[in-house]
Structure 1
């Protein structure tokens, strides 16, 4: 499997992802890796309908994503991974899927989260996962839009979160 792009965006497939990020990824398939969405048949169906024309969409949990990644049948398939949270990114990486970079685009604010930027809010668990991904050498690419300047996620977390 050839990983072209990986992004955390809890809205998953929406206008920016369908029109900009999917073109930038230049992949033949979007793989949504989310236990929550995998268990929700309505959301799965809606995501498949929202996909850019000609692009296949699969919704899987981490275990299935790892199995598919390791299946020789998909060795030449190009993919764009979409996640809703960094914990599942970390689980995928620890299971042997070699991500080099994760784009952080949208993590909505809700109770129990700290707002880091207009588009990104995090829990303590998110912060721990991001720090571990960083230690594993994965680039944390904080950009909502493709032409935004990259921001240093961990520096912003340190500025906003008082542990």
Structure 2
């Protein structure tokens, strides 16, 4: 079961490694990222950044969906991290909207190398490309519980309200 699917352009960093697993009650962090799944050095760095707070698995998007569909995995509370909204939408769609309690679009579009003029700025931590804005809209139309919450002590804002502003 996915307690939270977080969109964060940095994947795993201090907040993700240290505060969210305890807050969510998860023992597993799954990084679902096609590039990281092929880069052993990045995988090692991601795993080292957590150091004992949770078990880290790195999968490509298709492999992550297969993992979540495994009956054994459905009883394990997991925290999933992707770095693009369209990857969150691919996972949601691949699971037919099942097994995901919440999607948190926290930090996206700041470090992807795409010119800022080609993005819609939602707030200081969210800059969406047209593809990511379309993916967010699809998630909302499909009935996903989509929020924006950077750290656990922040109020969770409904993402639909942020898109309207």
Q: Normalising by structure 1, what TM-score? A: 0.87
Question: 1:32, CA displacement in angstroms?
Answer: 0.6
Where does residue 62 of structure 2 map in the other structure?
Answer: 63
Where does residue 84 of structure 2 map in the other structure?
Answer: 85
Output one character per residue of 1:69-121: Cα deviation in whole Å (capped at 9) or x when no partner.
Answer: 12223342221111101111111111125223201111143413232111111
Please state if 1:136 is matched with 2:142.
yes
Where does residue 17 of structure 1 map in the other structure?
Answer: 16
Where does residue 105 of structure 2 map in the other structure?
Answer: 104
Segment of structure 1 superposing worse, 104-113 or 22-31:
104-113
- Segments of structure 2 that go 5 or more residues without pairing to the other structure are none
Output one character per residue of 1:32-75: Cα deviation in whole Å (capped at 9) or x when no partner.
Answer: 11112212222111001111424110111121112111222334
Output one character per residue of 1:3-22: Cα deviation in whole Å (capped at 9) or x when no partner.
Answer: 22221111111111122112
Where does residue 31 of structure 2 map in the other structure?
Answer: 32
- Segments of structure 1 that go 5 or more residues without pairing to the other structure are none
RMSD: 1.7
**Structure 2 CA distance, aligned partners of 1:54 and 1:17?**
10
